[in-house]
Amino acid sequence: MIVNKETIVQLASVQKRLDNRTLTEYRTPIVIETGISWTAEGSARVRIGDNIVIAGVKLSIEKPYNDTPDEGGIMVNAELLPLSNPEFETGPPGIKAVELARVVDRGIREAKAIDMKKLCIIPGEKAWFISIDIMTINDAGNLFDTAGLAALTALKSAHFPVVDESTGAIDYHQKTKVSLPLVKEPLPVTVYKINGSLLVDPTLEEERAYDARLTVTTDDSKTVSALQKGGTAPLTIDEVGRIVDLASEKAKFLREVLNKALR
């Protein structure tokens, strides 16, 4: 894709893109659906342009970790299905899948988005553990933002299953009205730097042409909870400042879309 890469790089310097979007414009439509899986406690399908990602939340009761006896926990796992991009292979998760899962995980974990203390049932013995699974259905570029949005939507839509008081067994077929103790809404926005210009929501071709990228996870109060830098080129302090501003503005936009969809 050398030709398109050259053209993308040239256009970026004059603030233009191949598909005539502005640099800070997301693709349309952004479609958010919840409850797509009846086996999961919470699930979501998110579509940004041609990008489709599904996320599911499963809840289980486990023994808390020894260093945090009064807290539950979260786990994030991402799978890049071979169906979604010809470059993805079956087998153990590769570097891209691990990075995707860790970026989403760190955003939620470090924002302290879930009140872990409220997940504890009996300190040192029983606590709820949240497992988030992310699957890419179609990769058209910008999996980070789509996956982050899908994970948050799934968390928001999740409800605890019914637990039998006497035996302690979980009945996954019945759900209570209680949703997860979600106190913040962190959303990752990845800003790409191509030929000195900063842009969001890259297509697959733009993802092949970038110099550097920075994923910034911000919550409702614009507090930055996590950063992830990628690419070979360096970023100046001034650029990082501009990226964080842009990311928090775009996260606010995505959060509005999300809340409109869930209402």
Partner 1 sequence: MSNVLVQERDIVIPGEILAEGMDYLPGENTYRKESAIYSKVLGLVSIPGRVIKITPLAGPYIPRVGDKIIGKVSDITLNGWRVDTGTAYSAFLNVKDATTRFIKKDEDLSEIIAIGDYVVVILVNVTSQNLIDLTMKEPGLHKISGGRIIHINSQKVPRVIGKQGSMISLIKEKTGCDITIGQNGHVWIKGTTNGEYLAERAIKLIQEKSHQDGLTERMQKFLEDKRV
Stretch of 12-20, 36-44, 63-71, 97-105 contacting partner 1, by CB under 8 A: 12-20
Q: Please tell me whether residue 2 binds partner 1 under the rule CB under 8 A.
A: yes
Q: Please tell me whether residue 197 binds partner 1 under the rule CB under 8 A.
A: no
Q: Please tell me whether residue 4 binds partner 1 under the rule CB under 8 A.
A: yes
Q: Please tell me whether residue 11 binds partner 1 under the rule CB under 8 A.
A: yes
Cα dist from 236 to 85, 212, 263, whole Å = 33, 11, 40
Q: What is the 3-state secondary structure (H, E, C) of 92-139?
A: CCCHHHHHHHHHHHHHHHHCCCECHHHHEEECCCEEEEEEEEEEEEEC
Q: Which is nearer to partner 1, 24 or 179 (CB)?
A: 24
Instruction: Please classify residue 215 by burial: count the beta carbons closer than 10 Å to its beta carbon, then call 0-12 exposed, 13-18 middle and 19+ buried.
Output: buried
Q: Please tell me whether residue 208 binds partner 1 under the rule CB under 8 A.
A: no
Closest approach of Cβ 21 to partner 1, in Å? 10
**Contacts of partner 1 in 155-194 (CB under 8 A):** none
Tell me 197's DSSP state.
E
Q: Please tell me whether residue 6 binds partner 1 under the rule CB under 8 A.
A: yes
Closest approach of Cβ 1 to partner 1, in Å? 7
Peptide bond into 181 cis (omega under 30): no
Task: By CB under 8 A, name the one of 20, 39, 166, 236 that touches partner 1.
Answer: 20
Closest approach of Cβ 97 to partner 1, in Å? 26
d(Cα 188, Cα 170) in Å, to the nearest integer?
A: 33
Q: Please tell me whether residue 3 binds partner 1 under the rule CB under 8 A.
A: yes
Q: If we measure between CA atoms, which residue out of 5, 3, 2 comes closest to residue 211? A: 5
Q: Which is nearer to partner 1, 20 or 166 (CB)?
A: 20
Q: Which is nearer to partner 1, 20 or 39 (CB)?
A: 20
Stretch of 11-19, 48-56, 87-95, 120-128 contacting partner 1, by CB under 8 A: 11-19
Q: Please tell me whether residue 262 binds partner 1 under the rule CB under 8 A.
A: no
Task: By CB under 8 A, name the one of 9, 12, 16, 223 that touches partner 1.
Answer: 16
Regarding beta strands 126-138 and 73-80, do their DSSP bridges make them parallel or antiparallel, or are they unpaired? Answer: parallel
Task: By CB under 8 A, name the one of 13, 19, 87, 262 that touches partner 1.
Answer: 19
Q: Please tell me whether residue 96 binds partner 1 under the rule CB under 8 A.
A: no
d(Cα 83, Cα 52) in Å, to the nearest integer?
A: 11
- Contact predicate 246/199, CB 8 Å: no
Stretch of 15-23, 61-69, 171-179, 183-191 contacting partner 1, by CB under 8 A: 15-23
Closest approach of Cβ 4 to partner 1, in Å? 5
d(Cα 60, Cα 41) in Å, to the nearest integer?
A: 10
d(Cα 90, Cα 84) in Å, to the nearest integer?
A: 11
Strand order in the sheet with 224-231: 197-200, 187-194, 212-218, 224-231
Q: Which residues bind partner 1 (CB under 8 A)?
A: 1-4, 6-7, 11, 16, 18-20
